[in-house]
Amino acid sequence: MKKISPTLLAAAVASALFNTQSAIADDSANEHINDTAENIENTEHISIIGGQASLNKTAGSVARIDELALEAYEFDDIARVLATVPGVNIRQEDGFGLRPNIGFRGVTPERSKKINIMEDGILIGPAPYSAPAAYYFPIVSKMTAVEVTKGPSTIKYGPNTVAGALNLVTRSIPADAEGSLDLAFGTDGYYKAHTYYGSSVDKFGFLFEGITLGSAGFKDLDGGGDTGFEKNDLSAKFSYDLSSASNATQQYFELKLGYSDEISDETYLGLTDEDFAKTPNRRYAASQLDSIDWEHTQIQLTHVATNEDWEFTTRVYRHDFQRAWNKLDEFGSSFNGDIPSLQQILISPNSDENIGFYNVLTGQADSTAREILVLGNNDREFFSQGIQMSGSASAELFALEHTLNVGIRMHEDEIQRNHTQANYFMRAGQLVSTMEDRVSTTTNTEFTRAWSVFIEDTIEFDALTITAGIRGELIEGEYQNRAPGFEQDFQNKTTRIWLPSISAYYALNDNAGIFGGVHQGFVPTSPIQPESIEVEQSNNFEIGYRFVDNGNRAEVIAFFSDYSNLLESCSISAGCDTDTTFAAGDVDVYGLEALGAYTFELSNGLSLPITLSYTHTQSEFKQTFYSPFNQWGFVDVGNKVPYLAENMISMNAALQASKWDVSVLISYTDGMPESAQTALSGDIRDSTLAGVVTDDLFNIDLSAGYNLGSAGRMYAKVDNILDSNDIVSRRPFGARPSKPRQFVLGYRYSF
Amino acid sequence: MTKRIVKTAIALAVASIIVGCGESTSTETGAQFGQQDRVVDNTFNETALLTSLVDKVIVPTYLEFAQNALALQNAIDNYCGALSSQTDASGDLANAQASWQTAMTTWQLAEMMQIGPLLENGSNLRNKIYSWPNVSSCAVDQDVVNAEAQDYDIRLRTSSRKGLDALEYTLFNTNLNHSCTAFGTAPDGWNNRPDDARMIARCHYSLIAANDLVENANVLVDAWQGSEGYGEILKNAGQQLSDFTSALEAVNDVSDSMFYLTEVTKDAKLATPVGLFANDCGLSPCVENAESVYSDHSLQNIIANLKAFQTLFFGGSEADVGFDDFLVEEGDAETAEKMKQDLAAAISFAESLNSSYETLLSEQADQVEALHENVKTVTDTLKTDFIQSLALELPATSAGDND
């Protein structure tokens, strides 16, 4: 075996992140590394889910957006990045995608809490088990690939196996000295500065990367004020190669350090429909103090050992996250009594009960003691740490070629909530403290220690490849109320589950194949949830056809998720004030994903790659019930799950020449129901948004670049070229707009 | 061979799903965790307590209020008649005002008894009768004029336009100008009308509101009486076909209603006007934030609240089966005695205050703060020893209060 270069080993590290994809790859791990290295040379990015060949033979839906595709649009918003991936449903919120809501195959997208979000193969959510809401999301602008795994392959990436995994891939350490400086400016005070430099010297490699990103915001606050954000991200990678020509086993270490922060003047407060129609980008005066401030640090140490027969990866990680979001939560009254929710006020602002509150919200009237604005500061500290080991080996057994993948992870995470509230009066359009003491609302800790194992065997027999696997989770959760006098308010909870999967790919010929699979879906409950709230479980099925020929591609997949217990965890972003979990029992979600990609080679060296993607999703509750969860309310059999668009379609086309390129991304998403309840019944417990749907979303993004040779590359882009103003959702409180048209001009110098 | 593999795959798939059902969850919880099903091992007859509460406290209070409402209706009818005949109406107005005060005092007892029908559909019936603190004098001004239309139907109007709070404004407010300040809300031409016309208009509206009040009071009484009334439901709690899983659950509904003393009497009626909570004057005493500012009846309301709490606590009179007996049965005679003493002290102190509440707020705020402390002594015990000894649950609204 020849000596593996740092670059190859870097590729191996990256490959190991989604380690088992190498098993689906053609042959041995070593060949996989070579295959990956080839990709590096060809496309200047590292594939972590194997080369294209492995993707083509995957029994299940796996999609990758590579660095070239990411650079084409320079998107900072994961929602726009994922627009071309079928089976991805997203509820937009702030327009920038700062805290995205992503679901796959119909799982509700609320705070992306039902998918596994990973960075370089490691769970990156603040506390994926104890508090899965992804209030931290890695900065997309610096990623070199984005990968989406759905279907049976999901079983390798717990804890949430019901939907899939989203993996964000950071830049790998380059083999030779390499760097880049990317500067961009745009409308609404948009700016981005992104630079990196890395190299490998003998056995030592390093990479430094930094990015700062911000905007003055596109919303107009009543009375003036900032509505934008600032984000910074610094990271460093160091590697050391222990490989030697004399040793058959090659080894490699990599240390990754990261720091990021964000301050954004973001709010949960939207608008009434009437105000949205007049000025969609308005923000009411009551949101003038709203701001979130967070810091995130990460340290990851990776060791890879590999030889001709096996590879083994060990990863140790620790992430810390602190956030404080001070924002308008609700109205209060010194007289107690009935106080409408912000959602109720914004849906019916002119009613007798609500008009006074609406006038205060908009700053048109001063507060009385009956209309006190309550600002909650949800201060939370998280950590997530663990060690995960995975390996793969190939062997011939009973005259069949087996590729075995195994993994084990010991993970711990914790959330400490230190929530407080303070009261304000509206006075002449300004929020003025009532001078009352700030009070504690929620003071508790949730901690989880989870052991996960999986084993998966892939057996090849002629044209048929069968993969069977099982995942086990042992989850020990601890909840403790830390408020004085509530020492006995605690719970220790243990959950065990085995989650099997099986899938098959049958090659019809060298270019086409059919595949199918079934796996058990699972979403754990957090430590605070009582035993009576059962974990979410589902049986997930998929069947598909794939055709691949020299980069052109067609894929159709039908999926069906049979939930035996659909859960929703309700937070303020969903319109609640607690992290309560609600259960809906049996729910069916099914649909179709289709993808087509074809490159037209034109005259004069021009090429025109086009990608079309389509997703159709249907959902239905299988029983009639009432739930106090405000996205459900009174639900009848057959009602649809909220925030799932029936039809989503997108087209990505580019005209590419040697010196220049122009790309256009056109997407359409059906309006989505904002509640499972289809109409108001007059009952006080009605879901406030019963029967209300979001706008149909039609969006066109355009980008163009010109290569200046050694002098770099100029690029320009226009997001939302039609400047359409659509209601993307009415949650948490009121109608919220999509990002308006934005012009950006940038320059990148690489060496 | 291919068939064999396909069969194997199907078998594996089926086996996989079966294996996947192997989920198990176990928990260990602290005594304060969640809304746990409490196991109460006691020999106290909770049904006897419920019977006492229904027959000797709650239903008699509602019945008395229905009679008070009818008397108020008659008094207002007389007052309107006097106004229309252009005779001296001051005596009839005084009678109407006295009738309102009587009805209000009774209703302030009922305020402490918001259980079942009064709470349904967002306290709809309660708010129709009395919607404070959600009141709007401007809304009443508007409906005084709106009610002159042929098709006006007060039953379709929102609660801040009717009920005892609207009647207080129309019967006691001597300023005949409207109170609307927001642009576009003033009733057309109202301030240009002659005084007599405005008094008659307000009186006519008062009569409409009083008729509505009588109707709603009767709805309340009907909801509690009869073999299928809520009184029987409470008394039969925990028995076969009952909506309550246990009699204690029904007792818990009653104890929930008694937290009115904490959230409304102590906080909204005392702490807020005196400036312990933010009010319209900041954090200083604020006369306009008292409950019944037009009638100067705020202190009487508080006293009635305390007396209602006391009556509920005793299950009627001290000799009846009440919460005090329940506490003694549970071995906590100390709490029973303390609450009894503290309640008596609070009532005694409130009755000893000779000035009007508004005067107290503006001139003797320390007396209001002292009354607040007296009430707080009771509610502190209510939230702790009372609840714990009787294995009751705190109402959700009380869990995060500021005490």
Give the chain A residue whose CA is nearest to the CA of B403: A439
**B359 shares a domain with B264:** yes
Q: Percent of chain A scored above 70 by pLDDT?
A: 91
Measured between alpha carbons, how far is B77 from A230 in angstroms, rounded to an integer?
Answer: 68
DSSP string, A157-217: S-S--SSEEEEEEPPPPPSS-EEEEEEEEETTTEEEEEEEEEEEETTEEEEEEEEEEEE--
> What's B103's domain CATH number?
1.20.1420.20
B89 in a structural domain: yes
Q: Does B24 touch chain A (CB under 8 A)?
A: yes
**B202 shares a domain with B292:** no
The residue range of the domain holding A705 is: 6-750
Cross-chain Cβ contact A461/B5 below 8 Å = yes
Model confidence band, residue A14 (pLDDT cutoffs 50, 70, 90): very low
Nearest to A488 among B1, B30, B123 (CB): B30
User: For an interface test with B, which of A360, A427, A502 has the most B Cβ atoms less than 10 Å from its Cβ?
Assistant: A502
- Show residues of chain B in contact with A581, CB under 8 Å: none
Distance in Å, alpha carbon of A465 to nearest chain B alpha carbon: 10
Q: Does B384 touch chain A (CB under 8 A)?
A: no
> What's A59's domain CATH number?
2.40.170.20
For tokens 């009639």, name the residue.
A624
Cross-chain Cβ contact B16/A501 below 8 Å = yes
Is the pLDDT at A4 greater than 60? The verdict is no
Q: Does A490 touch chain B (CB under 8 A)?
A: yes
Q: What is the mean pLDDT of residues B134-141?
A: 95
Q: What is the mean pLDDT of residues B66-86?
A: 96
Give the chain B residue whose CA is nearest to the CA of A533: B25
The pLDDT assigned to A584 comes to 77
Q: Residue B8 phi/psi, 5° resolution?
A: -60, -40
Is the pLDDT at B399 greater than 60? The verdict is no
Q: Does B403 touch chain A (CB under 8 A)?
A: no
Q: What is the mean pLDDT of residues B130-139?
A: 95
**B211 shares a domain with B272:** no
B222 in a structural domain: yes
Q: Does B366 touch chain A (CB under 8 A)?
A: no
Distance in Å, alpha carbon of B91 to nearest chain A alpha carbon: 35
Nearest to A107 by CA among A470, A442, A538: A538
Model confidence band, residue A34 (pLDDT cutoffs 50, 70, 90): very low
- Return the H-helix or E-strand segment holding A656: strand A647-656
For residue B188, give Cα distances in angstroms to A50, B33, B174.
Answer: 77, 57, 20
- Show residues of chain B in contact with A434, CB under 8 Å: 278, 282-283
B307 in a structural domain: yes
User: Do the beta carbons of residue B189 and residue B197 sit within 8 Å?
Assistant: no
Give the chain A residue whose CA is nearest to the CA of B33: A489
Q: Does B16 touch chain A (CB under 8 A)?
A: yes
The pLDDT assigned to A140 comes to 92
Last residue of a domain, one of B230, B247, B282: B230
Beta bridge partners of A186: A190, A744
How high does pLDDT run on average in chain A? 88
- Show residues of chain B in contact with A435, CB under 8 Å: 278, 282-283
- Show residues of chain A in contact with B141, CB under 8 Å: none
pLDDT in tens, A518-560: 999 999 999 998 888 888 889 999 999 999 998 799 999 999 9
Which A residues in the span 34-73 are in contact with B, Cβ-Cβ below 8 Å?
A: none
Model confidence band, residue A94 (pLDDT cutoffs 50, 70, 90): confident
Give the chain B residue whose CA is nearest to the CA of A473: B23
DSSP summary character for residue B279:
B
Q: Does B127 touch chain A (CB under 8 A)?
A: yes
Q: Does A507 touch chain B (CB under 8 A)?
A: no
Number of domains chain A contains = 1
Measured between alpha carbons, how far is A109 from A128 in angstroms, rounded to an integer?
Answer: 15
The pLDDT assigned to B86 comes to 83
**B280 shares a domain with B225:** no
B3 in a structural domain: no
User: Do the beta carbons of residue A496 and residue A476 sit within 8 Å?
Assistant: no
B197 in a structural domain: yes
Give the chain A residue whose CA is nearest to the CA of B271: A334
Cross-chain Cβ contact B24/A495 below 8 Å = yes
Is the pLDDT at B15 greater than 70? The verdict is no
Which segment, A55-59, A71-75, A438-442, is predicted with the most confidence on average?
A: A438-442
- Return the H-helix or E-strand segment holding A480: strand A464-481
**B221 shares a domain with B125:** yes
Give the chain B residue whose CA is nearest to the CA of A439: B402
Is the pLDDT at A49 greater than 80? The verdict is no
A1 in a structural domain: no
Beta bridge partners of A127: A131
For residue A585, give every residue at least 6 positions away whose Cβ sits within 8 Å of its Cβ, in sequence order, or none.
Answer: A564, A565, A566, A621, A622, A623, A625
The pLDDT assigned to B4 comes to 52
**B273 shares a domain with B213:** no
Measured between alpha carbons, how far is B198 from B140 in angstroms, rounded to an integer?
Answer: 13
- Show residues of chain A in contact with B7, CB under 8 Å: none
What ipTM is given for this predicted complex? 0.87
B275 in a structural domain: yes
Nearest to B34 among A436, A530, A535 (CB): A530
- What count of CB pairs under 8 Å joins A to B? 165
The pLDDT assigned to B402 comes to 47
Q: Which of A100-114, B60-74, B373-387 has the lowest mean pLDDT?
A: A100-114
For tokens 């200047």, name the residue.
A44
The pLDDT assigned to A133 comes to 84
The residue range of the domain holding B167 is: 46-230
**B372 shares a domain with B225:** no
Higher per-residue confidence, A394 vs B309:
B309
The pLDDT assigned to A534 comes to 84
B103 in a structural domain: yes
**B176 shares a domain with B281:** no
How high does pLDDT run on average in chain B? 91
SS3 for A600?
strand
The pLDDT assigned to A90 comes to 86
Model confidence band, residue A577 (pLDDT cutoffs 50, 70, 90): low
Measured between alpha carbons, how far is B277 from A439 in angstroms, rounded to an integer?
Answer: 12
- Show residues of chain A in contact with B181, CB under 8 Å: none
Measured between alpha carbons, how far is A744 from A215 in angstroms, rounded to an integer?
Answer: 11
- Return the H-helix or E-strand segment holding A421: strand A400-427
Q: Percent of chain B scored above 90 by pLDDT?
A: 80
**B77 shares a domain with B212:** yes
B224 in a structural domain: yes
The pLDDT assigned to A630 comes to 82
Which A residues in the span 289-348 are in contact with B, Cβ-Cβ below 8 Å?
A: 333-338
Distance in Å, alpha carbon of B26 to nearest chain A alpha carbon: 5
Last residue of a domain, one of B185, B209, B230: B230
Cross-chain Cβ contact A539/B2 below 8 Å = no
Distance in Å, alpha carbon of B16 to nearest chain A alpha carbon: 5
Nearest to B29 among A338, A435, A490 (CB): A490
Give the chain A residue whose CA is nearest to the CA of B120: A684
**B155 shares a domain with B61:** yes
User: Do the beta carbons of residue A408 and residue A389 sit within 8 Å?
Assistant: yes
Q: What is the mean pLDDT of residues A256-276?
A: 96
Number of domains chain B contains = 2
- Show residues of chain A in contact with B182, CB under 8 Å: 359, 365
